[in-house]
Amino acid sequence: MVFGQSLMLEPPWLASERAPHRKGNVYAPELVDEKDRQLLYYGAQGVDGHDRIHLAVCSQSGQWKRHGVVLEDTSANHVNDPSVVVVGGVYHLYYTLAREGVSDVIALATSKDGIHFEKRGTVLEPGKAGAWDSLLVGRPSILHADGKYRLWFDGRKDLPLGAPDKNAPKSCQSSRSVGLAESNDGRRFERVGPGPVFGNDAGGVHVSRAKNGYLMVYESHQGTRWAGSPDGVRWTDRGLLAGLGGTPIDRHGHVTPFLVPGNRPRLLVGSAMAPTWDVNRLAEIRLDAKAMEALGQ
């Protein structure tokens, strides 16, 4: 269901994008479309192995210009997976934060201009011992409507056998699920229900509004998968939305997809060039008529 694919950012890589292998590792796109500019937030891995959140800006010229790092934490292993909503003129950027290993939590930073951010602390931590998300929560997707913040995220209680984090619990049946938390102020979130709202080993999700409810896209080695929901809580898996493009760019899957809605919807993805998902490129995928029909466009 792919009509065309093009890269959004090209080498030479910044040191904060190059990754230890020097091949570049950029992914987790988040697009904020404004009247006179587009803001593309994304995550990247530096030569030191740590992740930071970056920004590229597209103005009337139509060209993306790197702005560089807009959010980092020198004491953390991982700062990535931005999701942004603008409320009352304030940019609320939710992101994955791991102090060490893969001990992910979801944190918040805010900004008045979309460029200079101030950290506001953790807004969602892993669940209680034994819960489906007791090990980690991350990769947020935020929406705001009718005075309420709705935050979808993926979580898990253990890692697959052979995972590199030696301190984390492991299981041969390990899988991810998607949860939902809500807040009135964007800082104090409460989970909706005791369990996840969607399974299917889904992660790296992006949720958007649709004519008849909500759409969720999520990452996989086969491409971008999707699900639909009337209320954001009850989800039905819809299968593969956009498969691999048949080139080395996304030979090993789509990472952290972002659906750009509208009359001509398109996907922004981290195109996986390696099976380890650590050599990624930011790509834009134009969807064909069949995919647009599936989305109800």
Which structural domain range is residue 103 located in? 2-160+171-294
75 inside domain: yes
Specify the CATH number for the domain of residue 175.
2.115.10.20
3-state secondary structure of 69: strand
**Which pLDDT score, from 0 to 100, does residue 1 have?**
42
3-state secondary structure of 290: helix
C-alpha 55: how far from chain center: 14
How many domains does the chain fold into? 1
Distance CA 265, CA 256 (A): 17
62 inside domain: yes
Distance CA 29, CA 114 (A): 15
176 inside domain: yes
Q: Residue 90 carries which DSSP code?
A: E
Q: One digit per residue, pLDDT tens: the chain, 297 residues?
A: 444 578 888 889 999 999 999 999 999 999 999 989 999 999 999 999 999 999 999 987 778 999 999 999 999 999 999 999 999 999 999 999 998 878 899 999 999 999 999 999 999 999 999 999 999 999 999 999 999 999 999 999 999 998 888 889 999 999 999 999 999 999 999 999 999 999 999 999 999 999 889 999 999 999 999 999 999 999 999 999 999 999 999 999 999 999 998 778 899 999 999 999 999 999 999 987 777 777 775
181 inside domain: yes
Angle among Cα 136, 137, 138 to the nearest 5 degrees reads: 125
Is the distance from CB of 111 to CB of 136 less than 8 angstroms?
no
Distance CA 134, CA 197 (A): 16
Q: Cβ-count burial of 123 within 10 angstroms (0-12 exposed, 13-18 middle, 19+ buried)?
A: buried
pLDDT tens, residue by residue, 236-267: 999 999 999 999 999 999 999 999 987 788 99
166 inside domain: no
79 inside domain: yes
Percent of the chain scored above 70 by pLDDT? 98
256 inside domain: yes
Angle among Cα 149, 231, 29 to the nearest 5 degrees reads: 55
Distance CA 35, CA 46 (A): 32
Is the distance from CB of 53 to CB of 119 less than 8 angstroms?
no
165 inside domain: no
**Which pLDDT score, from 0 to 100, does residue 88 have?**
97
